[in-house]
Amino acid sequence: MNRKKIIVGLASLAILLMSSQSTFAAPKHKKQITVTTIAWGLSTFLLGSTVGPGGALYVPDGQEGVIWRVEPKTGDVSLFASGLPKAVLTDDQGGPGDVAFIGNTAYAMVTLVASDIGGSDIVGIYRVDGPSSFTIIADIGQWSSDNPPDVPFFLPTGAQISMQAYKGGLLVVDGHHNRLLRVSVDGQISELVAFQNIVPTGTAIWGDRIYLAQAGPIPHDPATGKVLALGRKSFTPSEVASGLRLLIDVEFHPGRSLYVLSHGEWNGQFEGSPALPNTGALARVNDDGTFTILVDNLNQPTSLEFIGNTAYVTLLSGSILRIENLRQS
């Protein structure tokens, strides 16, 4: 029920106004953001996620070489695909790192499994043909070795961080080689745009523009954590926002608001090592180029998705969070 307001006039007469007819109606109370863990124990190194057919979450698991299907309402987990190359090193990144759908067909991005890191598998895009069958449509590792970047690197096959559907094909981010690759469904690979040492991570698409999260070079200071927008023709980047450390993903809410994930404060161990536990954050991008932190103390978040008004955050340690009431805050 709305409150009544009493306005005292010059003659000290009290005029009682019903708020249903008053411009002085009390504002609605904002709902508190809620964070719920809906799934856990999937792996020790989850990186990517996507929303696929049926509105479910699909999460690749590099340690197990599988892709999980997660029911967003209940958190029920089922096996979508298995048999992909696993991470070469225990408790480290590698194997299937992200997944994307073009129509009803799933494509897995497999990274850090080649000989330059001690493995024997192909770094590239694997089309999911069945629960345990795949076709390698693009050998990104070989292409990257044949077309090295213009920035310093030590892994010829690169370190691909994220992937998503883009103009009938796939947009792949290589954070180690500092570039975006475009891969067609028939396996054609091309460099879309190259950067200096900014460490690109996650992407979001709105219309003909690509929005890119940038972790920045080590030690991943807040000043180098940025969101960039790439133009529709030249792909010349422009800065949208900056000031949050180690940005790992960016995503649009259906209402057009832009959100980012900060992986947290880098642990300082080696290039590519994760953030310190419980230092990550989910934030909204403001029109003035700043960020508003909505949820902090996240434990090494890696991927962000929206299903309706609800956010889903994947954690490196193998858990998935459901975050509600972001639009009320």
Q: Identify the pLDDT of residue 24.
A: 35
The pLDDT score that the predictor gives to residue 231 is 82
Inform me whether the pLDDT recorded for 3 exceeds 60: no
Q: What is the distance between the alpha carbons of residues 143 and 183, in angstroms, rounded to a whole number?
A: 11
Higher per-residue pLDDT: 12 or 283: 283
Q: What percentage of the chain carries pLDDT values higher than 90?
A: 79
pLDDT higher than 90, residue 22: no
pLDDT of residue 91: 64
Mean per-residue pLDDT, 234-247: 93
pTM equals: 0.88
* Rounded Cα–Cα distance for residues 72 and 208 (Å): 29
pLDDT at 270: 84
pLDDT at 15: 32
Choose between 179 and 54: higher pLDDT.
Answer: 179
Q: With bands split at pLDDT 50, 70 and 90, how would you rate the model's confidence at 328?
A: low
Predicted confidence (pLDDT) at residue 1 exceeds the cutoff of 70: no
Q: Can you give the pLDDT at residue 31?
A: 82
In angstroms, the CA 135 to CA 121 distance is 13
User: What is the rounded distance in angstroms from the CA atom of residue 118 to the CA atom of residue 52?
Assistant: 33
Three-state DSSP state, 245: coil
Residue 66 has a pLDDT of 96
State mean pLDDT over 175-188.
97
The torsion of the CA quartet 53, 123, 186, 64, rounded to 10 degrees, works out to -30
Residue with the bigger pLDDT between 194 and 43: it is 194
Contact (CB, 8 A) for 117 and 94: yes
CATH topology of domain 32-328: Neuraminidase (2.120.10)
| pLDDT for position 43 | 79
What's the chain's average pLDDT? 89
Which residues are within 8 A (CB) of 72 and not within 5 positions of it... i.e. 6 or more apart?
38, 55, 56, 57, 307, 310, 312, 322
Residue 58 has pLDDT above 90, yes or no: yes
pLDDT value of residue 90: 65
Domain ranges of the chain: 1-30, 32-328
Q: What pLDDT is attached to residue 327? A: 76
Q: In the structure, what pLDDT confidence band is assigned to residue 151 with cuts at 50, 70 and 90?
A: very high
Provide the β-strand partners of residue 322.
36, 312
- Residue pointed to by tokens 């309402």: 73
The per-residue pLDDT for 8 is: 33
Label residue 155 by pLDDT band (50, 70, 90).
very high
- Cβ neighbours of residue 140 under 8 Å, at least 6 residues apart? 123, 124, 125, 157, 158, 160, 172, 174, 181, 183, 189
Mean pLDDT of 209-222: 95
Query: For residue 223, what are the CA distances in angstroms to 25, 51, 198, 242, 321?
Result: 42, 31, 11, 6, 27
**How many whole angstroms separate alpha carbon 74 and alpha carbon 91?**
28
Q: How would you label 280-293 residue by residue, b for 16+ Cβ within 10 Å and e otherwise?
A: bbbbbbeeeeebee
pLDDT(10) > 60 = no
Task: Write out the H or E segment, with its range, that includes residue 145.
Answer: helix 140-146
Q: Phi-psi category of 144—alpha, beta or left, where left has phi over 0 and alpha has psi -120 to 50?
A: alpha
Q: What is the pLDDT of residue 2?
A: 40
Give 107-144 as a DSSP string: EEEEES-SGGGT--S--EEEEEEETTEEEEEE-HHHHH
